[in-house]
Structure 1
Amino acid sequence: MFVPRKVADSYREMINSIGFYPSVLSVGFLFFAIITMSVEYLAPVEQLKSFISVVLVDSAENARTILSTLAGSIISLTVFSFSMVMVVLNSASASLSPRVVPGLITRKSHQMVLGFYLGSIIYSIIMLININKLEGGSTAIPSIGVLFALIFGLISLGLFVFFIHSISRAIQVDNVLNGLFSQTKKEIKAIIKRQKEAPVSEFPDFSTWHSISSKTEGYYKGVQTDKLCAILKEHDINLYISVNQGYFTVKGYPFLKCNVDITHDEELLEKILDCFIFYIEEYISDHYRYGLTQISEIAVKAMSPGINDPGTAVKSIDMLSILLIERLSLNDINYSFKHSEKKPLLYLHETSFDELLHDNFSPLRHYAKVDAYVMTNVLEAFKNILFVARDNEKARESLFNYLYAIVDDINMNVTNEYDRREICNMLNSITRINEQQGSQLVAHFEHHQNNS
């Protein structure tokens, strides 16, 4: 089914909004209130009410008092909870990274709690306006509805305790890092699993394929894979995405290549281009690269003078090393296919290992180059990656090329003899993994020291 890009973008923006689940739950509570009122005075329900009369209100005044108290109290909880969310988002943006904010906003547990609050308020108000005077002076009291409202109020108190506990944990840097690490690792393993299902030994020569230009500008964040593969299968064509996810593209930029020249088929081009996603936020579910970036930025933020938390930076570095080790199992060309077949239809330019090293360690190297403790741990992270990649020549070359950049920064900024001795010990550990290249790296480090 063909869905226009604007509709898809609006849908994505809606479901990633902090108000999506609260709105859905509020509508659900509204319908439940209507259903409750429609069955409140039926004969079977009246019999049930006589059986459980001990827990039901028997006067209109008590019902109004209970419902008014519940509505007012839950409104107070809602205001306080929303205020807490804003405080957490502001704190996360200031002390961690602005890029982690979208992930905190879309946290489903917090949205569900806020939605339950709003729904309970709506339910209580609906019950309140249905306490009506009847002919003869009697009053119609929705006692079952009041009972449900009371139950919702008690549940709201429990959810408030959970919310305070959860929101206080959400801002803790260790929990944020663990969440980013787990989700990023999960995304990498999902790609590894998909590539193992349909291994490709040889890729086409994309340089001979026909270019397709972008008709929009923005940050390319992903593609609706299933929808695009269905289109490619229908027209018996293959497609190659030549840019990395997260890169900014402009109108007219040739970011796609096709094995068949389809530039004359405007309708097909429109369908294909409508499958691509452009927006600003970075969600790890779109690509694991965003998880690496967010962890790296938390490390950089931790090294700022206002925060000065090298322990967080070191933990982030260790997580980056583990994720980069997982990345070694991926091909530099990713691909997708229809689930019914194992033949690749869509090829994607995966962010190379060399690019990941540069993108994630360069900012950290720049801001932490005067901190011998952090730089020693950077070297240890590279040592661990080298240990796993010792049989991967391409990755090994990328690692040693970057190690020279690290050593150059250390030589220019770390002059204390004790610190340099610790760094030299770490470089010697790298030499034990790869004697030839490691010895050259140690010689490069000691040559600067001798010249000094």
Structure 2
Amino acid sequence: MFTPRKIADNYREMINSIGFYPSMLAVVFLLFAVFTMSIEYTEIVKTIKKYLSVVLVDSEENARTILSTLAGSIISLTVFSFSMVMIVLNSASASLSPRVVPGLITRKSHQMVLGFYLGSIIYSIIMLINIKQLDDNTVAIPALGVLFSLIFGLISLALFVYFIHSISKAIQVDNVLNDLFKHTKNVIQQIITRQQQHKIDNFPDFEHWYSIGSSTEGYFKGAHSDKLCAILAEHKIELYIVVNQGFFTVKGYPFLKCNHDLSQDPELLEKLLNCFIFYIEEYISDHYRYGLTQISEIAVKAMSPGINDPGTAVKAIDMLSILLIERLKISDTNYSLKHSDGSPLLYLHETSFDELLHDNFTPIRNYAKTDGYVMTNVLEAFKNILFIAHTNDSATKSLFNYLTAIVDDINEHISNQYDRKEVTNMLKAIVRISPEQGEQLLVRFKHQHENS
């Protein structure tokens, strides 16, 4: 039985497939081939052909040779291009992070190129089978169709050059990081803009709202907010999503709260639950924390013995610091507005700043704790965040709690005096931003080393 949720899941899986756009373009070329054959022998087209005779074929043998060559050549380009895609995905998974693979698969430009190849092949084959003997012993040659096939073949060659250039750039770590950074920052900026346009200071007391359990198990990824808010507005109710995006829920887990008791209205409850999305892949468009996670994992991968690229790790750390600074502008409770009076219908629990620090810097700290260069840059990243967040008491507290863990790791694993001097200088820079807490951190750093 196809429920609305299953239909939505199948639709999402289909549009995120590497074959979606190629399939759509293949259908477009097929329809264009049918259209071409339907007008090929009309009087107006015959008149046009007289003016294009220089570029039109006039013999059966030439037409078959051209079309066969084009179809075979483009098939070779397609095979090579698909092979390149698989190599890139395998390389990205091995050297960067498996989590970046869905983003590379769904890159529309590559899918469009592959779709154009498939469409050109289909078009050439249809033109080829329409070269046939007529009753009066003449041969019907779709000259206009052959011309279009030749044009598509030339365009395919140009697209092949573009494809090789693009696919070679796609695997470069700097380009991957820059794309992740820009995309993640844009998603954060969209949330900031929405909250600034409709600023809300007073939120309801969600503790007294009625809990709603999940009807399925899986990773919670978000909701169809437009459809959900339309239902909420129609029934004049409000919802609060308790869990973070990416949280794994089991059937019956209370991941929602409602300001009305819906236990006696199972039909409405089912309509609401069908608006929520559960799947495995992580797309930045769903939530900015997936972008942060992917950047963090690239940094960890760069520190692995097989790759050993601390420069990439440092660049990823700097990007994380900028994105976390942007995150400070977002309220911990997010919301979607659909009421005519501007009040929210749907409230979302944002991942806290403290959780983001833990989730993204803990893997880096564990893998790089013996590397003085990387750990110094981690301290510098925290110094930069503190420079912006020093007036935010909650964020400052989270930052110094985590800085304590960093200092403890440095004391335990880095004993070289030169590296420790660099760490000391960075801690002194933190003291200049937050004198009292920074001084305590500096004393802790020196005292633990003296005791050891």
Question: What is the aligned partner in structure 1 of residue 78 from structure 2?
Answer: 78
State the AA in 2 paired with 1:255. F
Instruction: State the match for 2:290 in structure 1.
Output: 290
Q: Distance in 2 between matches of 1:417 and 1:6?
A: 60
Measure, in 2, the Cα distance between the counterparts of 1:335 and 1:360: 24
Deviations 1:384-432 (A, max 9, x none): 0000001101000000000000000000000001000100000000000
- 1:377 matched residue in structure 2: 377
Structure-1 separation of matches of 2:426 and 2:137: 89
Map 1:193-208; keep pairs closer than 5 Å.
193-208=193-208
* 2:449 maps to 1:445: no
1:241 equivalent in structure 2? 241
Which has the larger displacement, 11-20 or 129-138?
129-138
Q: 2: distance between equivalents of 1:238 and 1:413?
A: 51
Which range is displaced more, 158-167 or 336-345? 336-345
Query: 1:214 Cα deviation (Å)?
Result: 0.5
Deviation readout 1:152-203 (Å, 9 max, x if unpaired): 0000000000000000000000000000000000000000011111111111
Corresponding position: 1:16 with 2:16: yes
Alignment coverage as a number of residue pairs: 451
Q: Which amino acid aligns with 1:66?
A: I
Q: Secondary structure of 1:188's match?
A: helix
Check if 1:69 corresponds to 2:69.
yes
| 1:155 corresponds to 2:178 | no
- Conservation of the 8 A alpha-carbon contact between 1:197 and 1:342: no
User: Which segments of 5 or more consecutive residues in structure 1 lack a partner in the other structure?
Assistant: none
Q: Is the 8 A contact 2:233 2:339 kept in 1?
A: no
- Displacement of 1:13: 0.5
Cα distance in structure 2, aligned partners of 1:339 and 1:260: 17
The answer (yes or no) to whether the contact 1:325–1:388 under 8 Å persists in 2 is yes
CA distance in 1, matches of 2:104, 2:275: 27
For 1:55 and 1:33, the matched residues in 2 are separated by 19
1:415 aligns with 2:395: no
Shift of 1:138: 1.0
Q: Which residues of structure 2 form unaligned runs of 5+?
A: none
* Structure 1 residues 13-52: aligned runs within 5 Å: 13-52=13-52
In 2, distance between residues paired with 1:388 and 1:343?
A: 30
Question: What is the distance in 1 between the residues matched to 2:173 and 2:359?
Answer: 22
TM-score, normalised relative to structure 2:
0.99
Which residue of structure 1 lines up, in the alignment, with residue 134 of structure 2? 134
> TM-score, structure 1 length as denominator?
0.99
The 5-angstrom pairing of residues 246-257 of structure 1 reads 246-257=246-257
The DSSP-based 3-state class of the residue aligned with 1:345 is strand
SS in structure 1 of the partner of residue 212 of structure 2: strand
In 1, are the aligned partners of 2:124 and 2:146 still within 8 Å (CA)? yes
Q: Which residue is 1:56 aligned to? A: 56
SS at 1:47 equivalent: helix
Residue 102 in structure 1 maps to residue 102 in structure 2: yes
* Corresponding residue of 1:216: 216
| CA deviation after TM superposition for structure 1 residue 281, in Å | 0.2
State the Cα RMSD in Å.
1.0
Q: Residue 412 of structure 1 aligns to which amino acid in structure 2? A: E
Identity %: 75
Cα offset for 1:450? 1.4
What is the rounded CA distance, in whole Å, between the counterparts of 1:106 and 1:450 in structure 2? 54
Distance 2:116 2:3 in 1: 32
1:307 aligns to what SS in structure 2? Answer: coil
The structural deviation recorded for 1:135 is 2.0
* Alpha-carbon distance in 1 for matches of 2:264, 2:362: 43
For residues 152 and 338 of structure 1, the distance between their equivalents in structure 2, rounded to whole angstroms, comes to: 47
SS of equivalent to 1:375? helix
What SS does the aligned partner of 2:344 have?
coil
Offset at 1:341?
Answer: 4.8
Contact 1:241 1:255 in 2 (8 A): yes
- The alpha-carbon distance between structure 1 residues 323 and 16, as it changes in their structure 2 partners (threshold 3 A), is same
Distance in 1 of aligned mates of 2:390 and 2:202: 23
